[in-house]
Amino acid sequence: MPLDRMIEKAYDLVQKRRVEQVGEGVYNVVGNHGTYIVAKKIDGTISCSCPGFIRRGRCSHSLAVLLTQKPDLLRSIERQINKPPERKRSRRERA
């Protein structure tokens, strides 16, 4: 999955409040295909029980947990996602 799509999915999980802390450094994240356990270890590394993380070492669930802990990053992503698309300039405007 492309990184920008993963970021959008993670943002969506946070906005829909699908991330729930269930213990010290342990979270349940309700994804589109099930509920996964995301664990944040003492050294700061994160793991997720979903097949995507097991295959690629990254997933939207683990990123969603990070976003819940980094409000500045969440706001930055929110601005990018909600930014209106740039209008293409006409040939006349480019000349």
> Which residues, at least 6 apart from 82, have a Cβ–Cβ distance to it below 8 Å?
none
The whole-angstrom separation of Cα 26 and Cα 47 is 10
Mind listing the pLDDT tens digit for each residue in 15-67? 999 999 999 999 999 998 999 999 999 998 999 999 999 999 999 999 999 99
d(CA 29, CA 50): 10
Beta bridge partners of 37: 28
Q: Is 87 a domain residue?
A: no
Does residue 95 have a pLDDT over 80? Answer: no
pLDDT on residue 79? 75
In a domain, 40, yes or no: yes
Domain count, the chain: 1
Q: Name, in order, each residue with C-beta under 8 angstroms of 4's C-beta and a sequence gap of 6 or more.
A: none
The answer to the question of residue 9 being in a domain is yes
- Domain holding 60, by residue range, is 3-77
Distance of CA 42 to the CA centre of its chain: 21
- 36 belongs to a structural domain: yes
Domain membership flag for residue 89: no
Asked if residue 59 is part of any domain, the answer here is yes
In a domain, 83, yes or no: no
pTM of the model: 0.78
